[in-house]
Each structure stands twice: as C-alpha cells, then as structure tokens.
C-alpha cells in the first residue's frame, strides 16, 4: 500500500505572479494530488496566498518539492524585491517528528519541527 505524508502550508506571492504559479503547478500536474492546491477565487488586498493541503504518498514528496522549489524561485515582480515566501509542514506516517519547509529569498530551507509533532498523531 505505501506510506503517506501529510502536507499543508501556504505560499505568498504577488498577484502579477499568479499566472506563472498556475503554469508551474499545471506543468507538474498529478492526476490525484494536484487537487490539494487552492487559489483565492477573487483577489483582495495586496497579497496572494496559495494554499496546499493533502495526504500524498511519501514517494511523491519529491514531486511536490520540485513545485515548491520552482515557486520559491519566482523572481520578484516589482521594485520592492519581494520574493515568494511561505511555510509548509510535512509529517510522515512512519515518523513522529514533523519538518518544515521555509520559503524565502528564492530558496527552501528544511528544518525539523519537533514542536509540531502533535500534528503527526
């Protein structure tokens, strides 16, 4: 059957980057797991948050990470020099500790998150 990972988090981008983000997600389309992405139905205020939530097979974590790497690398859309930023929490079915993927300045940093291990229960 295989082991699962629970993936949940958000990414903040500029509204001008939405089409690029949708293209990255579409190019990496997975028949089942791409359904975890959610975009706001209508823009409001000044930030655009993309959300992902879902349980995926652990062997698909690489598929998801590739998208996050590509989204994190979107260059700033304006002179404010704001790169995409966000946070994802990953818990694996066969491990008690969670990890976080912190997105900022065009990179993804993976850090253990033992304080979030209650999410794996």
Question: 121 pLDDT band (50/70/90 cuts)?
Answer: low
Q: What would the two tokens of residue 11 be?
A: 């990414």
Residue 74's domain comprises 4-40+47-120
Q: Is the pLDDT of residue 120 over 70?
A: no
pTM, whole model, 2 decimals?
Answer: 0.91
The pLDDT tens digits for 71-110 are 999 998 888 888 999 999 999 888 777 899 999 999 999 9
Decide: 21 and 71 in contact? Cβ < 8 Å.
yes
How many domains does the structure of the chain reveal?
Answer: 1
CATH number at residue 88: 3.30.70
Q: What is the rounded CA–CA span in Å between residue 88 and residue 10? A: 6
The pLDDT tens digits for 32-82 are 999 999 999 887 788 899 999 999 999 999 999 999 999 999 998 888 888
In sequence order, what DSSP letters do the residues of 59-79 get, joined into one string?
GGHHHHHHHHHHHHTPPPSST
């Amino acid at each position: 059957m295989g082991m699962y990972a629970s993936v949940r988090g958000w990414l903040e981008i500029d509204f001008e980057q939405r089409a690029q983000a949708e293209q990255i997600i579409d190019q990496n389309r997975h028949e089942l797991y791409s359904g975890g992405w959610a975009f706001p139905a209508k823009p409001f205020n000044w930030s655009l948050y993309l959300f992902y939530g879902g349980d995926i097979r652990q062997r698909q974590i690489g598929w998801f990470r590739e998208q996050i790497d590509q989204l994190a690398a979107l260059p700033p859309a304006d002179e404010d020099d704001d790169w995409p930023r966000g946070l994802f929490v990953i818990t694996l079915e066969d491990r008690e500790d969670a990890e976080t993927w912190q997105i900022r300045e065009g990179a993804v940093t993976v850090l253990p998150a033992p304080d979030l291990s209650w999410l794996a229960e």
